Amino acid sequence: MRRTITVNGEIWEVAPSGRVTVYGRDQIGLVFQQGTGPTRRRRFTRFAPTGSRSPDAAVAELGERELLELFRASQPAWTAPEGAYGAR
């Protein structure tokens, strides 16, 4: 499931990151992505779903405000384990 949000006039795609944490389905990783190729920007965060534990369904249940809060709490790919700390 991919969604989009607008942050400061820029459109970002939002999707489950696919990374499984030690907490299983109690935490779901999200990736915020903008662009493609070498100019692509990615940010990662995790959240605890309150409804469905399926990553796609849990992302679908998030409201716009919640996605914006998660974006603000996210970290750039080069600082995140999900982004392999910037490895290419």
- For the segment 11-70, what is each residue's pLDDT rounded down to a tens digit? 999 999 886 666 666 888 999 999 988 899 999 999 999 888 888 999 999 999 999 999
The secondary structure of residue 65, as a DSSP letter, is H
| Per-residue pLDDT tens digits for 67-85 | 999 999 999 988 887 776 6
Q: Which amino acid is at 64?
A: E
The pLDDT, as a whole number, for residue 22 is: 67
The pLDDT, as a whole number, for residue 23 is: 63
b/e for 75-88, b at 16 or more Cβ within 10 A? eebeebebbeeeee
The model carries a pTM of 0.84
The pLDDT, as a whole number, for residue 24 is: 62
The pLDDT, as a whole number, for residue 71 is: 97
